[in-house]
């Protein structure tokens, strides 16, 4: 299988690429950096800027790609162009290139505006609005086989291998556990057309995903 990871240089993206390569997938990673990020025969790199127009993004994406991960983000610097419009253009490009599977890393409560006054979210309102409408587009305006993984706060700490899915509270995640969850979603057809939230918890990742 040939997998495109949009945002391969990121904290989640780089860990996700490592896991996909370990599982013997052919991986194309995107970054605007020049140096090659991974030295692996199954890895190739694409210099993709998602602020470009949709047609040029589409031309850069091979039609024989089996699945796209979106793990890019502006880190709050350009939420409209990157987290919203950039994301939607990759969805449109995927659809127009006949690619069905699309896995989005989003944020906890992106689709539940009633939680947006919670501490920790209120300060990120612009970002939340952008993730909200990007996720809405994926669910309501695309025919993609999407999965939306809504992670709580990302932390640079050791993997636990365990998660709580769809809890009513926001929590924290080891970045490696988020990458493992994203990788596990790829072949879990029960996650197609599903949105779920995750935080570190008590259930083995594969078990949690199987129950969705
Ligand atoms: N921080 C949290 O606590 C948290 C919680 C839940 C969900 N999330 C989501 O998780 C995502 C990933 O987080 P992270 O910490 O792994 O991100 P990160 O380390 O900041 O990486 C961001 C990635 O986005 C890419 N990117 C930025 N602007 C781009 C552009 N114009 N065109 C193409 N690619 C672009 C970067 O690629 P280049 O190499 O080209 O710069 C990089 O690969 C976040 O964006 C956020 O939506 C975050």
Question: Could you tell me the distance, in angstroms and rounded to a whole number, from the CA of residue 201 to the centre of ligand 1?
Answer: 24
Q: What is the pTM of this model?
A: 0.99
| pLDDT tens-digit map of 22-72 | 999 999 999 999 999 999 999 999 999 999 999 999 999 999 999 999 999
d(Cα 81, Cα 88) in Å, to the nearest integer? 10
**Adjacent-strand bridge partners of 28:** 4, 44
List the chain domain ranges: 2-210
- Domain covering 2-210 assigned CATH 3.40.50.970 in the classification: no
| pLDDT tens-digit map of 74-124 | 999 999 999 999 999 999 999 999 999 999 999 999 999 999 999 889 999
198 lines ligand 1 (CB under 6 A): no
Question: Could you tell me the distance, in angstroms and rounded to a whole number, from the CA of residue 95 to the centre of ligand 1?
Answer: 22
d(Cα 99, Cα 87) in Å, to the nearest integer? 15
Q: State the catalytic residue, choosing from 43, 69, 127, 133.
A: 127
């Amino acid at each position: 299988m040939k997998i495109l990871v949009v945002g391969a240089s990121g904290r989640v993206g780089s860990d996700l690429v490592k896991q996909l390569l370990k599982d013997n997938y052919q991986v194309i990673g995107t970054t605007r950096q020049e140096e090659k990020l991974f030295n692996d025969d199954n890895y190739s790199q694409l210099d993709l800027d998602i602020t470009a127009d949709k047609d040029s993004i589409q031309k850069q994406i091979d039609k024989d790609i089996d699945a796209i991960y979106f793990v890019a983000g502006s880190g709050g610097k350009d939420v409209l162009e990157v987290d919203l419009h950039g994301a939607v253009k990759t969805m449109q490009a995927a659809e127009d290139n006949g690619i069905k599977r699309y896995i989005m890393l989003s944020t906890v409560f992106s689709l539940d505006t009633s939680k947006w006054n919670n501490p920790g979210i209120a300060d990120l309102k612009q970002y939340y609005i952008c993730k909200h409408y990007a996720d809405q587009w994926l669910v309501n305006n695309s025919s993609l086989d999407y999965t939306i993984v809504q992670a709580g706060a990302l932390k640079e700490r050791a993997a636990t291998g365990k998660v709580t899915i769809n809890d009513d509270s926001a929590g924290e995640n080891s970045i490696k556990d988020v990458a493992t969850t994203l990788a596990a979603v790829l072949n879990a057809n029960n996650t197609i057309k599903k949105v779920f939230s995750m935080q570190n918890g008590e259930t083995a990742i594969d078990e949690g995903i199987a129950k969705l």
